[in-house]
Amino acid sequence: MNTKSFQYILLAFLIGTGIFIASCGKDDDTESTDPIVLSYGPSPVLRGGELRFIGRNLDKVTMITLPNNIEIKNFASKSADLITLVVPQETVEGEVTVVSSIGTQEMKTRLTISEPIKITTISPLTARPGAKVTITGDYLNLIKSVIFPNKKAQNVFVSQSREKLELLIPEDAQTGKIVLSNGMPDPILIESDSTLNVIAAKATKLSPIPVKAGATLTIEGTDLDLVKAVIFGGNNKVNAFISQTATKIEVLVPANAQDGNVNLEMASLVTTSSSEVLEMVVPTITALSPNPAKNGETLSIKGINLDLVTTVVFAADKTATIDAQSATEITVNIPLDAINGAVSLRTRANKSVSSSELNLVRPTITGINPSSTQSNKPVVISGTHLDLVVQVKLGGDKSVNVSNTNESELTITVPSGTLSGNIILVTTNGSEISSANELTILASNVPEVTGYPTKAKPGELITLTGTKMNLVTDVIFPGNVKATTFGVKMLERIDVVVPFNVQKGYGRIKFMTIDNEVSETELINFVGVDNVKDPELVFFDFNGTGVKDAWWGAVKIVNDNNNVDGTSYGLVEGNFNGWTDLFWRNGSNNFPGATIGSNVNDYVVKFDINLVNPIDGGNLKFRLNGDEGDFWWTWGPAGPGASVATTAGWETITVPISAFKDNNGWGANSPTSMAVISKEFGMAFADGAANVKLYIDNVRFERK
């Protein structure tokens, strides 16, 4: 095979494999005697590797210039068809020029350089943070960053050359394989085969065990100077130490540390766990005094390490108030509702210890005077510990609530309708003590009411039926308000108008006779609400209908004897701090705003509400939100010039639509149309903190 044939076969092979690139030089002239390069390569090429030029009349070439201006005159080989040369180490990517006695030929395709970065060794493979590590390999001079497993990059090196890179392990580096990066926008990343083990602290001994919260714990081990935080059981982290060396740490034990291993955290956030389990000191109870004890009085608890106690709990899970505390004694006030049983001491370390059983004294009944009496007459009960009594139960399922501070004597008034039977004392903790003898109830010349409404409204004429109704001289409503307007008055019936200033809520009507004897009805709900004129304009009714119920919030739907109109109502109850959603719906769902339209001056918003707990902090915020704006009405002490929101039982609150303002309730603009209330609206609590308990019902529009 002649030289020219070989040349073309080689050229075809190299072009086919993509190793060589065409020179894009002069046109191919088979008759020309000028030197011409048809192709050269490989590209990219390794520094120190062989670069070949294929063409014709190449024996006339005197010099080849590589980037950047590296002149090559001594070739590895040269013939008419082929020139080979060794690529110098200083060669970079760029243009190539071939020079001959005839002239120069510039290669149209740039030469690119192959830089195969590699890692040969890492030494040492185990080292502390801050120690120097040496990496050997090739083309390490191109490295801009060494990346550790937790993506911690070290960009500053101790020394750097092509074959060697020295760096300090960052303080927060973690164990794992390292990655070398050339720092380019599309970087070359080379991962090591070997794992670099970054030394972490180890705890080999804890003392003392058990340890007391607040005491000093000594941790012994290795590389403890690397520790940034000590984590106790219950995830209680301590960052400040009494002392710290490579072999010992002294640290104060947190008050709420719990049993468990102690974890050491490094700057890298790597943690190691102690081989020993740390146990926390538990308080010890040695005595309870007095025993038996009395509800509401002081109990002394003696023992060891009682200064660790945070909570004292009596039987039935009743928590006591600690009056005084030391390491050897705690005094507490026994809860009024505590019952017999062990006393439990609890610590912040989630430890608890229980005493032997504590017995609580019970009242006794030694006498009832008189033993025979009439309704509405006083009875004196003698005995012991009667200051614990909160209720007296009598025959006929009658009862009297009492508040008594006398230990030896208790006076009650016998309610109307009481029957003969034993007296039962109910104490603060629910215990019941029955008398040995019965209280005899004698016949009484007082009215006996058998018929009455369960609900009445101020100004309403109601009918009361019973026996001996003709004996009544005064009818007295809750709030000690005497009735002044009557209808029929006869032996078995009285018609009476409920006074307008009657005390709202649940109460009893009393009947006074000429002999100053008194009888009374059972509880009647005196409501102070307006009747709903147009049920179609009610947009919250809390009756479980869905359309007019709250969609979300803290409100609950309830139906019991606290209702205002015999149907369900909304109950909101809880300790609220900051914004709390109460009840909401969307105006696009059957909202009756289109009925009002732009006639907002002809209508008001009304709602029936019973604030069981006055709103003495924060606001109730009523929202009407629509396309033309977000309008609010606020009720409570948090607004400018506002006062405590309160009601005397159920009341109807009337709010002009013009009272709804923008800028969260304190702006200048009011809504001009209810037809555009198309977004979420309702009521929330905000602007403070309060113990909220309220009943609400029948949120509605009404024509003035």
- How far is it, in rounded angstroms, from Cα 318 to Cα 582? 31
User: In this predicted structure, which of 30-34, 263-267, 344-348 has the lowest mean pLDDT?
Assistant: 30-34
The predicted-structure confidence for 197-251, as pLDDT tens digits, reads as follows 999 999 999 999 999 999 999 999 999 999 999 999 999 999 999 999 999 999 9
**Residue of 544, 447, 460 lying closest to 497 (CA atoms):** 460
**What confidence tier does 22 reach under pLDDT thresholds 50, 70, 90?**
low
Percent of the chain topping pLDDT 90: 71
**Are the C-beta atoms of 371 and 408 separated by less than 8 Å?**
no
pLDDT of residue 16: 38
Q: What is the mean pLDDT of residues 4-21?
A: 44
How far are the Cα atoms of 319, 328, 357, 384, 530 from residue 289, in angstroms, in the given order?
18, 13, 12, 20, 59
Q: Return phi, psi of residue 3, to 5°.
A: -65, -40
Side chain identity, residue 441: I
**What confidence tier does 327 reach under pLDDT thresholds 50, 70, 90?**
very high
**What confidence tier does 514 reach under pLDDT thresholds 50, 70, 90?**
confident
Angle, vertex CA 177, rays to CA 172 and CA 179, nearest 5: 85
Sign of CA pseudo-dihedral 223, 224, 227, 232: positive
pLDDT of residue 474: 94
Residues 6+ apart with CB under 8 A from 663: none
**Residue of 378, 372, 366 lying closest to 421 (CA atoms):** 372
Q: What is the mean pLDDT of residues 596-601?
A: 95
- How far is it, in rounded angstroms, from Cα 136 to Cα 143? 12
Got the DSSP string for 80-110? SSEEEEEPPTT--SB--EEEESS-EEE-SS-
- How far is it, in rounded angstroms, from Cα 53 to Cα 73? 14
Q: What is the mean pLDDT of residues 120-148?
A: 94
Q: Return phi, psi of residue 125, to 5°.
A: -85, -10
- How far is it, in rounded angstroms, from Cα 242 to Cα 196? 32
- How far is it, in rounded angstroms, from Cα 398 to Cα 421? 11
**Are the C-beta atoms of 664 and 579 separated by less than 8 Å?**
no
**What confidence tier does 151 reach under pLDDT thresholds 50, 70, 90?**
confident
Q: What is the mean pLDDT of residues 395-419?
A: 90
pLDDT of residue 17: 39
**Residue of 533, 704, 529, 702 lying closest to 605 (CA atoms):** 702
Q: What is the mean pLDDT of residues 304-332?
A: 94
Percent of the chain topping pLDDT 70: 95
Q: Return phi, psi of residue 672, to 5°.
A: -105, -10
Residue 7 has pLDDT above 70, yes or no: no
**Residue of 311, 340, 350 lying closest to 301 (CA atoms):** 311
pLDDT of residue 699: 96
Sign of CA pseudo-dihedral 424, 427, 432, 436: negative
Q: Return phi, psi of residue 26, to 5°.
A: -70, 160
Angle, vertex CA 540, rays to CA 538 and CA 542, nearest 5: 120
pLDDT of residue 3: 42
**What confidence tier does 20 reach under pLDDT thresholds 50, 70, 90?**
low
Residue 358, number of CB atoms within 10 A of its CB: 21
Residue 10 has pLDDT above 70, yes or no: no
Residue 663, number of CB atoms within 10 A of its CB: 12
Residue 14 has pLDDT above 70, yes or no: no
477, two tokens: 């409503």
**What confidence tier does 399 reach under pLDDT thresholds 50, 70, 90?**
very high
- How far is it, in rounded angstroms, from Cα 240 to Cα 229? 7
How far are the Cα atoms of 274, 326, 580, 617, 618 from residue 685, in angstroms, in the given order?
49, 42, 5, 10, 7
pLDDT of residue 145: 94
Side chain identity, residue 101: S
The predicted-structure confidence for 52-80, as pLDDT tens digits, reads as follows 999 999 999 999 999 999 999 999 999 99
- Quote helix, strand, coil % in the chain, to nearest 5: 10, 50, 40
The 8-class DSSP code of residue 594 comes to H
Side chain identity, residue 568: S
Residue 76, number of CB atoms within 10 A of its CB: 12
Decide the pairing of beta strands 145-147 and 398-401: unpaired
The predicted-structure confidence for 238-295, as pLDDT tens digits, reads as follows 999 999 999 999 999 998 899 999 999 999 999 999 999 999 999 999 999 999 999 9
Residues 6+ apart with CB under 8 A from 27: none
The predicted-structure confidence for 661-704, as pLDDT tens digits, reads as follows 998 878 889 999 999 999 999 999 999 999 999 999 999 999 99
**Residue of 543, 486, 476 lying closest to 512 (CA atoms):** 476
The beta strand positions in 535-688, using DSSP E, are 538-540, 556-558, 569-577, 580-586, 603-613, 619-626, 629-635, 651-656, 680-686
- How far is it, in rounded angstroms, from Cα 458 to Cα 631? 34
**Are the C-beta atoms of 173 and 152 separated by less than 8 Å?**
yes
Residue 494 has pLDDT above 80, yes or no: yes
**Average per-residue pLDDT for the chain:** 90
Instruction: Determine which helix (DSSP H) or strand (DSSP E) holds 134, and give its type and residue range.
Output: strand 132-138
How far are the Cα atoms of 537, 544, 582, 607 from residue 622, in angstroms, in the given order?
17, 21, 10, 11
Q: What is the mean pLDDT of residues 178-201?
A: 90
Which structural domains are found in the chain, ordered by start?
3-114 (2.60.40.10), 118-198 (2.60.40.10), 202-278 (2.60.40.10), 287-358 (2.60.40.10), 364-442 (2.60.40.10), 448-526 (2.60.40.10), 535-703 (2.60.120.260)
**Are the C-beta atoms of 411 and 380 separated by less than 8 Å?**
yes
